[in-house]
Amino acid sequence: MPPKMHEQDSDCAPYLVDDQCTVCGVSHANQCPECGGRGFHKPECPDSDVNWKVKLPATDKSTDNPSHDFIEMEPSRVLCNDVVLPGERNPNHTRLWLVEAAFSNWPTYLGAVWADNEEDALDTLIDEGMGDALLIDDEAMLAMSDEERESLAYLGNAGEACDLTNVGLIPVKFDKTRDKELLRLFEKARENGLSDLGEL
């Protein structure tokens, strides 16, 4: 599994399936005519600002260390499936969940999804194809003991077998003042019926 967050094409290379990284979700289908990069622009590329990242609040208030306040994520992995903004009527307690998986003792953020609870968040993650790193294939299933198979979670509409051993879910807590730009993006995406922030 990846030892660090993906920041360049070579990070994704071992995990490409049909020109898309199965870990970070970045597409490598098209090559930049300026720098030759496929999933990520090279630092010197004049179009490097195209590869923007969404900054999700990691805490409900600012800390003394700004680097701890936010988690950066590819916009295509931040869903707008059921957006409910702060202050809006929310009888089902729908919120944004950040799904984290620890691979080789390094956290990888698989996606952010809107859901009523943790189970629904994981189901949505799998159905949207953002949780492929958690899936257990048939060959691995056959090699498992009955006890190991019983410890798996079966998620998504297809009930796919997943290993949640190193998975955690973090509820995102918004601050209306600090996060006003991010909340504006979610509102815009909802108004336009977009699936994720990458479509903005």
- 3-state SS class at 100: strand
What length is written for the chain? 200
Backbone angles phi, psi at 27, to 5 degrees: -80, 140
Backbone torsion region of residue 129, taken as left when φ is above 0, otherwise alpha when ψ lies between -120 and 50, otherwise beta = left
The per-residue pLDDT for range 165-187, each reduced to its tens digit, is 889 999 999 988 888 889 999 99
**pLDDT at residue number 7:** 73
**pLDDT at residue number 196:** 94
Amino acid in the structure at residue 173? K
- Asked if residue 136 lies in contact with residue 152, where contact means CB atoms within 8 angstroms, the answer is yes
Question: Whole-angstrom Cα distance, residue 116 to residue 112?
Answer: 13
- Asked if residue 58 lies in contact with residue 70, where contact means CB atoms within 8 angstroms, the answer is yes
What is the DSSP pairing of strand 153-155 with strand 106-115?
A: unpaired
Q: Terminal CA-to-CA distance of the chain, rounded, Å?
A: 30
**pLDDT at residue number 88:** 95
Question: Whole-angstrom Cα distance, residue 101 to residue 7?
Answer: 17
Q: Which residues in the chain land under pLDDT 70?
A: 1-5, 24-25, 43-52, 59-69, 103-107
Half-sphere exposure of 169 (CA within 13 A, CB side): 20
